[in-house]
Structure 1
Amino acid sequence: MPIQAVRNLLGNAAGSRSLSVSPEWKVLGGFGVIMMLSGGALWASTLGIFLAPLERDLGWSQTQIYLGVTICYLTTPVFALLVGWLLDRGHARRIIIGAVLMEALVFLGMSRMGHGIGIYYALCILMFGTVLGVTPVPLTKVINSWFVDKRGMALGVLFSLNYAGAMVAPLAALSMIGQLGWRHTYAAFGALVLILAMGAALLWVRVNPEQTLPVAEIVPHKPVAGQRRALLEAIRQKEFLIVAVWLVLYGYSFNSISFHLVPMLEEYGLSAAKAAVAQGLVGLGGLSGNLLAGVLLDRIRASRLATLFALFPLAGIVMLALWPSQASGYVMAVSLGLAVGSEGTILMYLGGRLFAPAILGTVMALLVIVVTIGAASGPAVAALLHDHFGSYHQLLALNALTFLVSALMPFGLKAYRY
């Protein structure tokens, strides 16, 4: 922990009368505000709420609207590489501030959209860039520079706050659209981000200036040719293929339902208000899944946990299809959150146990691209099925199958290598 931070903490523990907050807790609080108001919390979780007004006022179909999400996910490699390149050059704070500013401007731009679908797609791409600008990579870069002994706690708090934002945003959006209209709601989101998130970023979020991490201690020296050979060997491993198939199915299965959850539950008899509550429950499930997976990984084999958490949404789908009701809709929403909340934690653990440390970063980047491919296809495939068949029944049947296969895939992971 930084020397000055230690002094501040010791001073506070000793009963100092000073009301000043130590720098690391300011950073944590500032980043917490940003995560609660991030594009993932405000935009992705509310798209289903905005769906009907956009269809009605702009004349777009579900397929056209959700194609914007697919296009966003396909830009992941470009934005991820750009963020990584800038981080390696010490621009973590600039990335975060730039992402927050862009998010506010994109929301304001969405409040002024006309009938041209191309403008909507461009704004979606920019919004997705802001999401990647406050992803775990820059987040971890900043938090790791301030927290040592309580690093896990700090990261856990931030991820939980992100899910908390995703829980509240759908209900807030539904109420605001009813009172203000969708344009003013987008404008209000932009103003909220510009005032609160930008203020937190400018005032509190920064990399610890006392941080000293020699490059030689972070990345062990490896000949380039040796790294390439090791990477090729890892990709050829059966384990890589199993994890890749699991992730692409997981990404497709979750996104195809999550982005359509509100209109889907309305089709199954829930009111708009109750469907919005269900969308918020996805965030609650995600928060719980993240915490639960972290606790269980030390007690249960990670591959078995991957299977267990994939079975939760499968059970939720079956309940909704066979016994459509408010209760089954809420159960499915929570089960989806449990699945997505645990996926990242389990993936990071499995990656560290299956692939060599010297190439782990590259392997994990490839797996992120794999899950993105599945996630990118989900909303558009769901919209196409709905537009073709006129209901979500066929989508639920297909996703029951994809969740089942994704649950079975981890059984092929027999032994850890590292």
Structure 2
Amino acid sequence: MVGVACGASPLPFITIGFFIDPLQQEFGWSRTEISLGVTIYGILAALLAPVFGGLADRHGVRPVALGSLAIFGLTFAAFAVVPGELWAFYLVWLMIGLFGIGSTPVTWSRAVNLWFFKQRGLALGLMLVGTSISAIVLPFLTTYFITHFGWRTAYALLALLPLAVALPLGILWFREPRPEERPPGVGAASDPSALPGRTLKEAMSEGRFWILWTSVALITLAYAGALVFLPSMLKQREFDPTSVATVLSVFGLSIFAGRIITGLLLDRFWAPLVTLPILCLPALSCWMLMGDAPLGLAMAVLAAFLMGFASGAETDLIAYLAGRYFGMKSYGQIYGVQYMAFGLMAALSPTLYGWVRDTTGSFDPMLLAAAIIFLAGAFLLLLLGPYPDFSRDSKTPNRTASSEG
């Protein structure tokens, strides 16, 4: 949980929205130019996710995740000394993309999937609560640091989260289960290739693999840019910095709620049916955020809550469905390729939102498109079909609609 909270998944994305205005004021960069850094990071992270997932499959999660966490923290601190040149700003994002992906759920979730089977949904939800904690704490922390110490010092202080908090805890206490400690349904083989499930090649030959990939891509495209530019959307609706931080913290609380509640439901019911109504909620958020008239705090909080709840559910869903539909044989690689959809769209979405705002003067056209995209991604998951049962034969699994192991 702590590794996820302080890793390269939440920290850059949650904080960048608070640095946009200071960077614009100091260097004169546009929103599109600043958000392009997130795009560079996201594309590299997406492309390298299967590589880091494969390393975790072969060598274990501990060396991959902790090594990546250390490099990510040092690289994130480099924002504090970046000069007023865009190429230098982009170089830092490039380095985070090259080395930070190992500190994301791509690696951590493999360990959780090996520890749990029947309560896997809840376990993954609790692990991913780390990003919820970040989404709750980081808006206030980032706002405080920037206001009192300036944006450069703020970056240096935020870099202490992976370096001085998560890394020492991981070195002391994090490990994967030994074969004899794994629960029934996971497999007790010491050789990862002997675990039940699909290889990456086998998984990619199934239509459901690409159904899941496409759904993840659509939903992430719709919400990632909204998260990055939510502070800007609220400021143009006459919210002060403290109110913006309050709304963003509610967003974090709703991610927490979405992950826990969705995790509990995933352990009891068929996942696509559970998430259909949840993933439709952000379409309403997009409608609420459209327009330039002053927006009441209660409405802003509700919009943030609905979008955050769905965001929490989606991230939990990727890790859960990768294990349930394709097993643990090549989980890291399979999850990594699925994460590519998340990473690529998380990279593209902020640039797309920023471009629409810069060219039209409003976020409304993008918010309208996002509402439609949310609905499409949610309904697409219904095509996944029943879960395979890898307990007897990983090559020719029996099929069951039950979510129980």
Q: What TM-score do the two structures reach when normalised by structure 1? A: 0.79
Gaps of 5+ in 2: 182-187, 389-398, 400-405
Structure 1 residue 211 displacement after superposition: 7.0
C-alpha separation in 1, matches of 2:116 and 2:267? 22
Cα distance in structure 2, aligned partners of 1:352 and 1:96: 19
Question: Given that residues 49 and 340 in structure 2 are in contact (C-alpha distance below 8 angstroms), is that contact kept between their aligned partners in structure 1?
Answer: no
Equivalent in the alignment of 2:70? 101
CA spacing shift, 1:346–1:184, aligned 2, 3 Å? closer
Say if 1:41 and 1:169, in contact at 8 Å, map to a contact too. Answer: no
Q: What corresponds to 1:219 in structure 2?
A: 194
Residue 210 of structure 1 and its aligned partner are, at CA, apart by 9.0
- Displacement of 1:107 after TM fit? 2.9
- Secondary structure of 2:81's counterpart equals coil
Structure-2 residue corresponding to 1:20:
none
Quick one: distance in 2 between partners of 1:268 and 1:223? 49
Kindly indicate whether the alpha-carbon contact (under 8 Å) linking 1:99 and 1:129 is maintained by their aligned counterparts in 2.
no
Higher relative contact order (CA 8 A, sep 6+): 2
CA distance in 1, matches of 2:321, 2:165: 37
State which drifts further: 86-95 or 274-283.
86-95
Higher radius of gyration, 1 or 2 = 1
Query: Which residue identity lines up with residue 133 of structure 2 in the other structure?
Result: A
Measure the CA separation in 2 of the matches of 1:244 and 1:334. 25
2:262 pairs with 1:293: yes
Q: Counterpart in 2 of 1:73?
A: 42
Query: Would you say the 8 A contact 2:15–2:142 is kept in 1?
Result: yes
Deviates more, 1:48-57 or 1:275-284: 275-284
Q: Which amino acid aligns with 2:353?
A: A
Query: Following TM superposition, by how much is the alpha carbon of 1:152 offset from its aligned partner in structure 2, in angstroms?
Result: 7.0
Alignment of 1:46-195 (within 5 A): 46-90=15-59, 92-129=61-98, 131-140=100-109, 155-195=124-164
What do the CA deviations read for 1:361-418 (whole angstroms, capped 9, x no partner)?
Answer: 6554433223333222111100100110112122212212212222332344555553
Per-residue deviation, 1:206: 4.4
Change in 2 beyond 3 A, CA 1:58/1:211? farther
- RMSD across aligned positions (CA): 3.3
Contact 1:40 1:166 in 2 (8 A): no
Contact 1:316 1:328 in 2 (8 A): no
Preserved contact between residue 179 and residue 190 of structure 2 (Cα < 8 Å): no
CA distance in 1, matches of 2:77, 2:315: 31
Alignment check: 8 A CA contact 1:269 1:325 kept: no
**1:307-386 aligned within 5 A:** 307-321=276-290, 324-351=295-322, 363-386=334-357
Contact 1:36 1:163 in 2 (8 A): yes
Change over 3 Å in CA distance of 1:311–1:140 after alignment to 2: closer
Where do residues 36-47 of structure 1 align in structure 2 (5 Å cutoff)? 36-47=5-16
* Whole-Å separation in 2 of the counterparts to 1:285 and 1:408: 22
Please say if residues 231 and 359 of structure 1, whose CA atoms lie closer than 8 Å, have aligned partners that are also in contact.
no
> Quick check: 357-366 or 40-49, which moved more?
357-366
Q: TM-score, structure 2 length as denominator? A: 0.81
Deviations 1:307-326 (A, max 9, x none): 21121111122223378322
Total equivalences in the alignment: 381
| Letter of the structure 1 residue corresponding to residue 244 of structure 2 | A
User: Structure 2: how far apart are the matches of 1:326 and 1:310?
Assistant: 23
Of residues 192, 206, 215 in structure 2, which corresponds to 1:246?
A: 215
1:145 and 1:211 in contact (8 A); partners too: no
Distance change (3 Å), C-alpha of 1:139 and 1:360: closer
- 3-state SS, counterpart of residue 115 of structure 1: coil
Deviations 1:133-189 (A, max 9, x none): 222343245567778998876654432233112210111111111111101111112
User: Which residue of 1 is the match for residue 185 of structure 2?
Assistant: none
Identical-residue share of aligned pairs (%): 26
Q: Deviations over 1:184-233 (max 9, x none)?
A: 11111224543333332343334568978534576359999xx85x4464
- Please state whether the residue corresponding to 2:89 is helix, strand or coil: helix
Q: Structure 2: which amino acid aligns with 1:271?
A: D
Residue 127 and residue 143 in structure 1: after superposition, are their counterparts in 2 closer, same or farther (change >3 A)?
same
**Letter of the structure 1 residue corresponding to residue 189 of structure 2:** P
- Distance verdict in 2 for CA 1:347–1:137, change over 3 Å: closer
Any stretches of 5+ residues in structure 1 without a counterpart?
1-31
Give the Cα–Cα distance (whole angstroms) in 1 for the partners of residues 119 and 274 of structure 2: 25
1:161 aligned partner, one-letter code:
G
Partner of 1:263: 232
| 90 and 404 in structure 1: CA distance in 2 versus 1, 3 angstrom threshold | closer
Aligned residue number for residue 404 of structure 1: 375
Cα distance in 2 for residues equivalent to 1:214 and 1:201: 25
Q: Letter of the 1:342 partner, please give it.
A: A
